[in-house]
Structure 1
Amino acid sequence: MAFQDNDNPAERKPRGRPRAFHPKTEQNTIKSLDRAMVVLGTVASNDGVSLSALSQRLGESPATLYRVLTTLAQHQIVETNESTQTWHIGAGAFLIGSAFLRRTSLVETSRPILRELMETTGETANLGVEKDGHVLFLGQVETHAPIRAFFPPGTLSPLHASGIGKVLLAYFDTARLNRFASAGLERFTDQTLGSKQALEADLEQVRSRGYSVDDQERNIGMRCIAAPIRNALGEVIAGISVSGPTSRIDQTQIPALAEAVIAAASRVSHAMGAGLDRPYTD
C-alpha cells in the first residue's frame, strides 16, 4: 500500500487560513489588534487628533490608547506632533497603502490619462472608487493654477455630494440605492441633494447624458464633472473627474469639459477591457 506524505513541502497545498479555521467564531479575532485597527482608522479620518479627544470618541482610557499609539508609532504607522500634542498617520501607513495601489492596475493605467486630462482641461483630474458608501480617491493630478481642488489619495467623500460619487450611485441597483438613501443624505450646502427624490432625478440625468456634475454640492465655489469607468463586463468600477473653482468652471464650460472627461474615462475603460465599439445601456 502506498502512503501519501502530506508533510512533504513539495506537495503541500498552500493555505490562506489554518486547517481548523471557523470563520464565524470570535476565537479567530485578536482583540488588541482589533482595537489597534479602530484607533488607526480614527486617526486616519482626522487631520490630527489628541489623546484626550481619541479617548472620548472611542470610550477607551488614555493609558490604553497611548500604548496602542506608541506601538503603532514604533512601526511608523502613526506619528505625533509634539508641538500640538496630536497624532497623525505616519509614513509606514503610506507604504502599506501604496502596496494596495500597486496591486490594482486601475491606478497605474489611469495615471497618464489623468495627467493628459489635467493638461487638456487645465483643471485637477481625479480618480475614485466606491468604499463603504463614500468615494475613495485613489489618484489625482493637480492643476498648476493657484486655486485648485485637492483630494489626496486616501481621501473619502460622500457619494451623493461628489461628481464621482454620483456617477457610481447612478449604476447602483434599486435595492442598493434604496439602502444608501435610507441611511440619510447629509446636506453640506444649499445645493446638496438632500432628498431621495432629488437624488434619483439627478442620477437619471447622469445615466442619460453619460456624466455627472457636482455643482457646489459639497463645497461652495467648487464644481466637478465626472464620468464612469467600466471593466470588461461593462460594470462601472470607478469614476474619473475634473474639479475646479466656479470662477473658472462656469455653466457654459461644462459641456466641453464633460466631453474631455468622458473621453478620458473611455480610454481607461478600454484599457481595463471594456469595449468602446458598443454603447452601454443601463
Structure 2
Amino acid sequence: MEPTQRRMGRPKKFQGKDTQPTILAVDRALDVLDALAHANGMTLSQLATRLDQSPATMHRVLATLHAREIVEIDQQTQAWHIGSAAFRMGSAFLRRSSIVERSRPVMRELMEATGETSNLGIERNGEVMFISQVETNESIRAFFPPGTLSPMHASGIGKALLSCYSDHRTSQYFRGAELTGFTDKTITQPLALKDELIGIREKGWAFDDEEKAEGMRCIAAPIKDIYGEAIAGISISGPTQRIPESAVGRIGTLVADAAARVSRGLGSS
C-alpha cells in the first residue's frame, strides 16, 4: 500500500485538514506592512487607528520590524515607512521570472523612441500590478512605483491583457468585475468594454484615453510566453498634450513591436 502523500509544505499534524493555521503576531505584522505600502508614511497613532489596535501593540510590531530593517522611521515627522529589507524581499518576486530583465532594454528603447515613460505590468488578483518602469526625462510624466495597482478596465495594460483572455475567462471577469468610473471617459458598460476588447485584438494594442486620470493617456500591448499566453503588458504613458490622437496609431505600432520583441525573447513564436 502506498503511503499517503501530504500537501507540500504542510506538517504532518495538519494532514487532511482544510483549515490553515495562522499566527496572530504575523498577521498583525503583515497588516502593518500592507498599510504602510499603501500610504506615504504613517505615524504610530495613525497605524493604531487604521488597524484598530492599541498603540502599545503597534509599537511592539514596529520595533520588531525596525530591528530587521523591514520598516524605518523618519525622525523629523515620526512617520513610519517601508524599509530597505522589505524592498529586498519584495524584489525576490521579480526574480521568479526573466521578464523584467528581458524587458528593460526594450522599455528603454521604447521610452527613447516615444519620449514617454515606459511601463511593465502583470495581472495580479484581478488588477494590473506595475513591476517596472523606465521614466522619461520630461518634467511632467506618469509615475507608477513597482507594486502600484490599477483596475483592468481603466488601464492600457489591463485592457491589453483582457483582450487575450479566453472566452471562459472573459465571462468570469465580467461576472465579478466592478467597472468603476474614474473620469467621464472610463468605460463602465460591459458591452462597450467587450467591443473595445475586440478592437484591441484586431489592432494588437490598447489605448487608455484619460480613462483612469484626466490629462493622461496610455498605449499598451500584451507580452506572451512560449505557450502564446499573455503574461504581462508593456506600455507608454504621458500627458495628452504630448500624445495627441494623431500620434496614437504610430505609437501603438511601436508599443506592439516592443511587446513582440520581448515575447520572442521569452520563446513566443
Task: Mark yes or no: TM-score above 0.5.
Answer: yes
Q: Does structure 1 residue 45 correspond to structure 2 residue 38?
A: yes
Match of 1:147 among 140, 146, 157: 140
Q: Which residue of 2 aligns with 1:187?
A: 181
Residue 98 of structure 1 corresponds to which residue in structure 2? 91
Helix, strand or coil for the counterpart of 1:244?
A: strand
Deviation track 1:97-119 (CA, whole Å, cap 9, x = no partner) reads 12222231001111111111111
Does residue 1:85 correspond to 2:85, yes or no? Answer: no
Write the letter of the residue equivalent to 1:111: R
Confirm whether residue 18 of structure 1 aligns to residue 16 of structure 2.
Answer: no
Paired positions, count: 260
Structure 2 counterparts to residues 99-114 of structure 1, below 5 A: 99-114=92-107
What is the CA–CA distance in structure 2 between the aligned matches of 1:269 and 1:216, rounded to whole Å? 27
Give the structure 1 partner of residue 265 of structure 2. 271
Counterparts of residues 107-256 of structure 1 (less than 5 Å): 107-181=100-174, 182-256=176-250
Give the Cα separation in 1 of the matches to 2:40 and 2:171: 32
One-letter code aligned to 2:81: H
Residue identity opposite 1:99 in structure 2: A
Secondary structure at 1:103 match in 2: coil
What is the Cα deviation at residue 197 of structure 1?
A: 2.2
- State the Cα deviation string for residues 113-160 of structure 1 (Å, max 9, x = none): 111111111111111101112211111111112211111222111211
Q: Which ranges in structure 1 are unaligned for 5 or more consecutive residues?
A: 1-14, 276-282
Distance 1:244 1:59, change over 3 A: same
Q: 1:138-192: per-residue Cα shift (whole Å, max 9, x none)?
A: 1111111221111122211121111111111222344544444434222211111
Structure label with greater radius of gyration? 1
Cα distance change on mapping 1:204 and 1:50 into 2, 3 Å: farther
SS of 2:39's equivalent in the other structure is coil
User: Aligned in 2, Cα 1:80/1:176: closer, same or farther, shift over 3 Å?
Assistant: farther
Q: What is the match of residue 251 of structure 2?
A: 257
* Residue number among 68, 72, 91 corresponding to 1:75 in the alignment: 68
The one-letter code of the counterpart of 1:225 is: I
- The amino acid of 1:143's aligned partner reads T
1:48–1:195 Cα change, 3 Å = farther
Gaps of 5+ in 2: 1-7
Aligned amino acid, residue 162 of structure 1: S
CA distance in 2, matches of 1:19, 1:251: 61
Give TM-score, length-normalised by structure 2: 0.90
User: Identity across aligned pairs (percent)?
Assistant: 53
